[in-house]
């Protein structure tokens, strides 16, 4: 049985003082959650988040990581730095990193390997744009992104890998991905994982990252290969985050 996960991606929101308030709201709200609860915060909030969540069921993640251990990389943060803070998770390859900051499939792979080798759990994001979906290349693109991201990752390391499918075309565009469309691609991703890692693929959580909300979470999470959500805006409100976490059926 794969443990379901809700992972909040705060993006560039919340000062450290604002983060303290939100975490204080989240702790009692999700204390009885049946899923794993992760909050991925800006770097400036990580110390606060780790300290506040100590002894709770909330796990803390970062939103990105550099692939070198140290060196002349002004403004970057290494995996060892995150581990030293007490961070457990990190997101790599988010669509916004790819769109705005020249992230490539190759750098996603390097970041994922650096994080895994340092003992972090990684949430690897894959997904297609509206143009790519309309051109019918979704499967080819997702296959390429997934395989390159996991190059040199071992079957043992897959125990610390989570995949997040982001249909970029359904985020902030007014278009909606149906639960059936999500399941189709999630199942396809699991097929790719099975080809490379065998039975380990059945233990890998695959999260949905396309505008998951309290209203659509139950339908999405009812699908066999949808193991939770990578949550954006709704993760910034304790009540909404909790409501999404309650959307899991017994599978």
- How far is residue 73's CA from residue 92's CA, in Å, rounded to a whole number? 18
CB 44 within 8 A of CB 16: yes
- How far is residue 125's CA from residue 115's CA, in Å, rounded to a whole number? 14
Catalytic residue selected from 66, 96, 166, 186? 166
β-pair partners for 89: 61, 121
- How far is residue 230's CA from residue 166's CA, in Å, rounded to a whole number? 9
CB 199 within 8 A of CB 240: no
Q: Is the dihedral of CA 69, 71, 77, 83 positive or negative?
A: positive
- 230 φ, ψ (degrees, to nearest 5): -100, 110
**Is 166 part of the annotated catalytic residue set?**
yes
- How far is residue 45 CA from its own chain's centroid? 18
CB 215 within 8 A of CB 247: no
- CB atoms near residue 23 (< 10 Å): 23
Catalytic residue selected from 63, 94, 103, 128? 94
CB 175 within 8 A of CB 130: yes
Give CA angle at 165 (115, 182), nearest 5°: 155
Q: Which residues are catalytic?
A: 94, 166
């Amino acid at each position: 049985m794969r443990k379901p996960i809700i992972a909040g991606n705060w993006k560039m929101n919340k000062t450290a003082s604002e983060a303290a308030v939100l975490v204080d709201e989240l702790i009692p709200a999700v204390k009885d959650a049946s899923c794993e609860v992760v909050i991925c915060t800006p770097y400036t909030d990580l110390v606060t988040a780790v300290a506040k969540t100590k002894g709770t069921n909330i796990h803390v993640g970062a939103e990105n990581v550099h692939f070198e251990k140290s060196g002349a990389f002004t403004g970057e943060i290494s995996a060892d730095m995150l581990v030293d803070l007490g961070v457990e998770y990190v997101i790599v390859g988010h669509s916004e990193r790819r769109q705005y900051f020249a992230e490539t499939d190759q750098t996603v792979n390097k970041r994922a390997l650096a994080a895994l080798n340092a003992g972090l759990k990684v949430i690897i994001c894959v997904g297609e744009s509206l143009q790519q979906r309309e051109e019918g290349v979704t499967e080819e693109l997702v296959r390429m992104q997934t395989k390159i991201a996991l190059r040199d990752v071992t079957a043992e390391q897959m125990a610390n890998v989570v995949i997040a499918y982001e249909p970029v075309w359904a985020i902030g565009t007014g278009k909606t991905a149906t639960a059936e469309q999500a399941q189709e691609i999630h199942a396809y991703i699991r097929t790719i994982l099975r080809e490379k890692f065998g039975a380990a693929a059945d233990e890998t959580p695959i999260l949905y990252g396309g505008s998951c909300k309290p209203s659509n979470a139950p339908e999405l999470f009812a699908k066999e290969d949808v193991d939770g959500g990578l949550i954006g805006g709704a993760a910034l409100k304790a009540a909404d985050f909790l409501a999404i976490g309650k959307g899991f059926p017994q599978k």
